[in-house]
């Protein structure tokens, strides 16, 4: 039996609503648009278009996955991040809009560094899809650097994303437990590490708990394990006038600041996300100790 675009949009929206998805109309359009490469205008002008049996079954399968709580961009296999499109894989966190804030805060830092010394070397710890390093390299031509992760699958995805986004000549990806395989200094050290306290993970939405990799979420008993490792290693890998920038959980501003300040870093700045929560902390290297 044939189905038109308009009919499959209506059917998809209904199935999403029935399964309790809040913004079913938007999600149906995003999923169908992404799968069939249909833009907003084509949704309006192409309502009567008859879908091939293959396209219709791809849409139905995607909607079924969404009713099982798989996030839209995981189903599509890629998501936008600032000016990039990033592929996702089972070993990568899906990058969040909050992390775009962190990148945007670092763009002027990187530009000033390039203006001063011709280049800016960035270390992105726990790089996942490569989102932070790749976006900085994309937005600031003098940026080069290393992205690390302990998840080999994530590093493979990050390297593919570097190729896809045209910055592969300025970045490398390295399997490393935080600083363990890093032996040089950087102008910027940045990280969005796992920061959820382990007992809290079970309470997270299905979309996060079941589909983001545990290693990308689990910050240990109090959520601060990664920050402790970063605090311990950052000084010997940061240039003397360098910047350390961290994404944090909504209630971690004081605990993470205390960890960094205990290692001699100077607090510079805190940024809030769109929900008004503390989300990004920026430190400078501070005087040599
Ligand atoms: C919250 S995710 C962030 C991913 C990416 N930077 C982003 O912002 O979308 C944290 C990342 O840290 C990595 N990770 C966890 N433990 C690590 C460790 N000991 N050393 C290096 N990376 C680690 C995870 O595999 C994951 O990719």
Per-residue pLDDT of the chain in tens (289 residues, 90 and over written 9) = 799 999 999 999 999 999 999 999 999 999 999 999 999 898 889 899 999 999 999 999 999 999 999 999 999 999 999 999 999 999 999 999 999 999 999 999 999 999 999 999 999 999 999 999 999 999 999 999 999 999 999 999 999 999 999 999 999 999 999 999 999 999 999 999 999 999 999 999 999 999 999 999 999 999 999 999 999 999 999 999 999 999 999 999 999 999 999 999 999 999 999 899 999 999 999 765 5
Alpha-carbon span 116 to 71, nearest angstrom: 42
Q: Are 210 and 144 in contact (CB under 8 A)?
A: no
> Which of 84, 150, 173, 245 gets mutated to test ligand 1 (max ligand atoms within 8 A of its CB)?
150
Alpha-carbon span 181 to 172, nearest angstrom: 13
Alpha-carbon span 147 to 229, nearest angstrom: 16
> Which of 194, 219, 229, 247 gets mutated to test ligand 1 (max ligand atoms within 8 A of its CB)?
194
Nearest-atom number in ligand 1 for the CA of 180 is 20
Pull the structure tokens for residue 198.
Answer: 């382990």
E strand segments, the chain: 78-81, 84-87, 120-125, 143-149, 171-175, 186-191, 238-247, 266-272, 278-284
Phi, psi dihedral angles at 143 (to 5 degrees): -80, 135
Instruction: 114-119: list long-range contacts, CB under 8 Å, 24+ apart.
Output: 114/140, 114/141, 114/142, 114/143, 117/187, 118/142, 119/143, 119/144
Pocket of ligand 1 (CB under 6 A): 93, 95, 99, 125-129, 131-132, 148-151, 154, 177-178, 192-194, 215-216
- How much distance in Å is there from the Cα of 122 to the middle of ligand 1? 16
């Amino acid at each position: 039996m044939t189905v038109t675009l308009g009919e499959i949009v209506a059917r998809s929206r209904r199935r999403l609503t029935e399964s309790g998805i809040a913004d079913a109309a938007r999600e149906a359009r995003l999923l169908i648009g992404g799968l069939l490469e249909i833009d907003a205008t084509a949704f309006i002008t192409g309502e009567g278009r008859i879908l091939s049996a293959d396209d219709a079954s791809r849409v139905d399968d995607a909607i079924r996955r969404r009713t099982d709580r798989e996030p839209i961009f995981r189903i599509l296999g890629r998501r936008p991040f600032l000016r990039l499109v990033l592929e996702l894989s089972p070993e990568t966190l899906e990058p969040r809009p909050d992390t775009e804030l962190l990148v945007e805060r670092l763009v002027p830092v990187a530009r000033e560094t390039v203006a001063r010394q011709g280049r800016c070397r960035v270390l992105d710890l726990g790089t996942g899809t490569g989102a932070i390093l790749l976006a900085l390299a994309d937005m600031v031509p003098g940026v080069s650097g290393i992205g690390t992760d302990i998840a080999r699958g994530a590093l493979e995805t990050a390297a593919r994303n570097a190729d896809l986004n045209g910055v592969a000549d300025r970045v490398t990806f390295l399997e490393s437990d935080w600083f363990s395989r890093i032996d040089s200094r950087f102008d910027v050290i940045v990280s969005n590490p796992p920061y959820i306290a382990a007992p809290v993970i079970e309470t997270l939405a299905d979309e996060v708990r079941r589909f983001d990799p545990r290693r990308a979420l689990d910050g240990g008993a109090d959520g601060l394990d990664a920050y402790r490792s970063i605090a311990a290693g950052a000084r010997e890998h940061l240039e003397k006038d360098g910047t350390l920038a961290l994404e944090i959980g909504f209630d971690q501003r004081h605990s993470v600041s205390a960890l960094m300040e205990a290692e001699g870093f100077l607090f510079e700045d805190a940024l809030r996300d769109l929900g008004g929560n503390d989300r990004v902390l920026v430190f400078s290297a501070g005087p040599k100790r």
